[in-house]
């Protein structure tokens, strides 16, 4: 969150570079400032204020404790079910009423 607060500095510094070189695009500016090759424009202090450029020692949280490790085991089991035949009777569906729905309209 702290680095996102520095986001306006990124644009402000871009406009400073844009005033020096009108042909610089934002993508070239980002590449020059965030690639692994250090660029030489004599504003290193200003560059280190940009978001995600330096690590603030106060924002790094370390914990010497590790969370407890829980070992879970999954035991396979087979359920014993009595197999009953499915009882299905056609007389539960009133065919006479269902057939009339699908008839074309009569003129």
Total domains, the chain: 1
Helix, strand, coil content of the chain in percent (nearest 5): 40, 0, 60
The DSSP secondary-structure symbol of 106 reads P
| Residue 87 belongs to some domain of the structure | no
Domain presence at residue 25 = yes
Tokens of 71: 């070992």
17 within a domain of the structure (yes/no): yes
Is residue 28, in this structure, part of any structural domain at all?
yes
Residue 18: which domain range? 2-47
Q: pLDDT of 26-71, one tens digit each?
A: 998 888 888 867 776 777 778 877 887 766 555 555 556 667 777 7
**18 within domain boundaries:** yes
Q: To the nearest whole percent, how much of the chain has pLDDT over 90?
A: 3
């Amino acid at each position: 969150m702290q680095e996102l607060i520095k986001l306006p500095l990124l644009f402000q510094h871009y406009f400073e570079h844009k005033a020096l070189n009108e042909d610089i695009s934002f993508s070239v500016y980002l590449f020059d400032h965030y690639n692994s090759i250090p660029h030489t424009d004599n504003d290193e202090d200003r560059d280190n204020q940009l978001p995600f450029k330096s690590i603030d020692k106060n924002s790094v949280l370390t914990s010497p404790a590790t969370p407890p490790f829980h070992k879970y085991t999954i035991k396979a089991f087979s359920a014993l079910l009595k197999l009953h035949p499915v009882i299905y009777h056609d007389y539960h569906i009133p065919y006479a009423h269902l057939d009339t729905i699908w008839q074309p309209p009569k003129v």
